[in-house]
Amino acid sequence: MTETENQAIEHPTIEDKLHPLQRLKQRIKTPIIDFLDADRSGKTDMLGKVFLLVPAFASTLIIVLIFGFLWYESVPILTDPVGGPGIIISPTWDPNRDLYGIAIFIVGSLLCTVIAIGIAVPVGIGGAVFLSEFCPMRLRQPIKMITEMMAAIPSIVYGLWAYIVMVPYIKNVLAPALQSNPLTAWMPWFQGDTNGLSLIAGGVILAIMLLPTVVTITTDALQTVPRSLREASLALGATQSETARKIVISAALPGVGAAVVLSLGRAVGETMAVLMVTGNSLQIPYTLFDPTYVMTSIITNQLGYAFVFPLWRSALFAVGLVLMVMSICFTLTAKMFIRWGMKTRGYI
């Protein structure tokens, strides 16, 4: 340790000798005294810092308040002998018999999210790499503008299109083709009769809705990579595709990660389009062509009827609580992977 650090240990400050409450009082008084003693420009600077601090705390406070509200509303079903924490793993939902198992909704949401992310992220990153690295300049802006316009289309419009176009296609073309093809007919996840309202319909429409977010954010991240990195890679003999894959995407990893995190949030929380094409059947889907029920759909469909029944209403709020916890866990997990990727590449 340095001499200064040794002196700090041997001679504690006056604040260190104070009682914790006195120390807190001192820390509150000090900024106020500094503000009163400061000149006009100093006061303006301090007020600016306070006004910038308020939105940061407000956003955190809003999340805490929402979480607290959901927890408060969920307590009746979580503490009642009829329900309890076991509703999270119970697969039976029947309010007429006081059965409030929400496992079927959790499974449906997870499967739809996995399908959507599995399609949207690779396709979206590929599209972003094309726009950033290979697309001619005269086509780049029109394509990017159309992609950004897709993000502005209401989810109900996506749902109507999927219900009219995608659902009949799955029923009449996709399912028969996969179930009659010797290469895929033996696969268990392609089995079963279907009317088109299915797990795969929900996953695919979600993926289409996520594509604009992934493509736009990833393209912006790729375009912020310094051109000198590309030129250095090409000068060392790398091809343009190798440069894009190994240099540009690696350098833009934080932005790509942000696109994935935002996509996860929207995939878990999307309601109307998924509600219209998944069949809303109270069963766990075992194949891609089985109908399913997601967490957002059950809240939308039943909250109006359940509001006057305390346990039923509380069970729906418990679904919302689990949904929020899942969304937070997904976001934290994605950020951990992003941080790990940045660390392995020497960015942090």
pLDDT (average), residues 99-122:
91
pLDDT of residue 85: 85
| N-to-C CA span, the chain | 25
Q: How far is CA 187 from the centre of its chain?
A: 30
- Structure confidence by residue, pLDDT tens digits, 121-140: 999 999 999 988 888 888 88
Pick from 314, 313, 326: which is nearest to 84 by CA? Answer: 314
Pairing of strands 99-100, 93-94: antiparallel
pLDDT at 306 over 90: no
Average pLDDT, the chain: 84
Are the beta carbons of 197 and 291 closer than 8 angstroms?
Answer: yes
pLDDT at 335 over 70: yes
pLDDT of residue 23: 72
Pick from 144, 127, 87, 119: which is nearest to 202 by CA? Answer: 119
- Hunting for tokens 């949401």 — which residue is that? 109
Going along the chain from its start, the domains and CATH numbers come out as 3-79 (no CATH), 85-344 (1.10.3720.10)
> Going by C-beta distance under 8 Å and a sequence separation of 6 or more, which residues neighbour residue 256?
125, 218, 221, 249
**Whole-prediction pTM value?**
0.81
pLDDT band at 290 (very low <50, low <70, confident <90, very high): very high
pLDDT band at 5 (very low <50, low <70, confident <90, very high): very low
pLDDT at 7 over 60: no
pLDDT band at 67 (very low <50, low <70, confident <90, very high): very high
Are the beta carbons of 287 and 192 closer than 8 angstroms?
Answer: yes
Cα angle for residues 221, 239, 211 (degrees, 5° grid): 35
pLDDT of residue 326: 86
- Hunting for tokens 């899942």 — which residue is that? 326
pLDDT at 312 over 60: yes
- What is the SS3 assignment for 93? strand
pLDDT of residue 277: 92
> Going by C-beta distance under 8 Å and a sequence separation of 6 or more, which residues neighbour residue 275?
159, 294, 296, 297, 300, 301
Taking the C-alpha atoms of residue 248 and residue 229, their distance in angstroms, rounded to an integer, is: 8
Cα angle for residues 274, 278, 282 (degrees, 5° grid): 120
Residues present in the chain in total: 348
pLDDT of residue 261: 81
pLDDT of residue 9: 47
pLDDT of residue 65: 93
pLDDT at 221 over 50: yes
